């Protein structure tokens, strides 16, 4: 059985690995101790008090249960919920920071199992980006200001649009793998239909949204073909981060994001559409990694040279948009007595 000293050294190494901080300097400030005292604690020469352990765990937002693995049947998640003190704008900024952190790591893997199209892609198309933020603010978050605002160019604050664009610019540099199903686009189509049926958006706005959605699919198809992310506004066709896209014929149950940073893993799951649960629980992350590997074995690669499968998939998506548009906007026929 390890000694108290060995457990403490292991604990502080775990804290440092999960925070990427200069721990000695931060312990001086956090525990109000000298630099020499901080190093004595890092070496295990001086044992931490219960209060010091508590301060460290709270300051770095780390779970002691995760470190000690007290229960193999319990998984601890960090909850990030949008509320009065953590606004939608704060949420978007935290997403940008999280992706920046992953992108800065020397070795990493990012996998997005997509029930809905990953929002990063919407954020490089102004109208789709505005629509998604407006929908989330008005219908999901019941934001009082947005409830009174019609859907137009002023529907979403400029700073939110800017942060959304920044998220895309950060994500485009991060190598990633995405798994889509035939149902992945349906959530956005249902949102558009709901707003059209309730007269929140006009016929012209609906047509413009569907046109931009097709443009997004065309760009994603080209990105999959290149094996790299491409930018809609870039006329030079610069290739950004590596992009792998897979098609799975089984409906995906929820949005799951898996990160692997060297020998560390992290899983993010959405709930209530926007809120996020995050965990680094080893057993849970290993289970999700095995789940993703199993899905990949049953999926078709759409990237690189998989031309036939890629064209079939994206043509099916665009046909779905065409059928959707005809259903909501049947062609106008001119009567025999009309001129």
Q: Is 186 exposed, middle or buried (0-12, 13-18, 19+ CB in 10 A)?
A: middle
Query: With 70 as the cut, is the pLDDT of residue 156 above it?
Result: yes
CA 304-226-128 angle, 5° bins: 115
Mean pLDDT throughout 284-308?
Answer: 92
HSE toward the beta carbon, residue 337, CA cutoff 13 A: 0
Per-residue pLDDT of 244-276, as tens digits, reads: 999 999 878 889 999 887 777 889 888 877 888
CA–CA gap between residue 162 and residue 315 (Å, rounded) = 32
Residues whose CB falls within 8 Å of the CB of residue 279, separated by 6 or more in sequence, listed in order:
75, 76, 77, 78, 266, 267, 285
Contact 264, 193 (CB under 8 A): no
Q: CB within 8 A of 165, min separation 6: which ones? A: 123, 124, 129
Residue whose entry in the numeric block shows the structure tokens 């990953």 = 118
Instruction: Answer for the pair 216, 128: CB distance below 8 angstroms, yes or no.
Output: yes
pLDDT over 70 (residue 73): no
The whole-number pLDDT of residue 114 equals 94
Q: So what's the pLDDT on residue 69?
A: 63
Q: Is the pLDDT of residue 288 over 70?
A: yes
Query: Mean of the pLDDT values across residues 93-109?
Result: 77
pLDDT in the model for residue 184: 94
Those residues with Cβ within 8 angstroms of residue 141's Cβ, 6 or more apart along the chain or in another chain: 82, 88, 274
The residue-averaged pLDDT of 181-193 equals: 95
Is residue 10 over pLDDT 80? yes
- 260 vs 200, more confident: 200
HSE value, Cβ hemisphere, 13 Å, CA-based, for 198: 11
Q: Where are the domains of the chain?
A: 4-62, 78-328
The pLDDT of 287-314, averaged and rounded, is 93
């Amino acid at each position: 059985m390890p000694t108290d000293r060995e457990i403490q050294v292991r604990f502080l190494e775990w804290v440092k690995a999960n925070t990427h901080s200069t721990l000695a300097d931060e312990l001086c400030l956090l525990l109000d101790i000298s630099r020499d005292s901080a190093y004595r604690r890092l070496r295990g020469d001086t044992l931490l008090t219960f209060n010091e352990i508590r301060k460290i765990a709270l300051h770095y937002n780390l779970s002691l249960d995760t470190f000690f693995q007290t229960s193999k049947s319990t998984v601890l998640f960090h909850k990030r919920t949008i509320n009065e003190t953590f606004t939608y704008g704060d949420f978007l900024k935290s997403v940008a920071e999280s992706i920046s952190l992953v992108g800065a790591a020397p070795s990493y893997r990012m996998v997005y199992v997509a029930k809905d199209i990953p929002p990063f892609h919407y954020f490089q198309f102004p109208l789709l980006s505005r629509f998604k933020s407006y929908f989330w603010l008005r219908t999901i978050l019941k934001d009082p200001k947005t409830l009174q605002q019609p859907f137009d160019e002023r529907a979403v604050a400029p700073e939110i649009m800017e942060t959304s664009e920044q998220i895309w610019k950060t994500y485009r540099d991060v190598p990633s793998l995405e798994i889509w199903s035939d149902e992945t686009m349906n959530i956005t189509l249902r949102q558009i239909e709901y707003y059209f049926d309730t007269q929140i958006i006009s016929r012209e706005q609906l047509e413009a949204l569907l046109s931009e959605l097709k443009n997004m699919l065309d760009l994603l198809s080209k990105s999959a073909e290149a094996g790299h992310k491409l930018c809609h506004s870039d006329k030079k066709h610069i290739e950004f981060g590596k992009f792998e896209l897979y098609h799975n014929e089984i409906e995906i149950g929820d949005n799951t994001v898996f990160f692997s940073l060297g020998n560390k893993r992290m899983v993010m799951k959405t709930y209530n559409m926007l809120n996020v649960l995050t965990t680094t629980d080893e057993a849970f992350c290993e289970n999700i990694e095995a789940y993703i590997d199993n899905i990949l074995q049953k999926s078709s690669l759409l990237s690189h040279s998989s031309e036939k499968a890629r064209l079939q998939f994206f043509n099916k998506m665009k046909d779905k948009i065409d059928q959707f548009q005809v259903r909501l906007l049947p062609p106008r026929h001119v009567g025999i007595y009309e001129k």
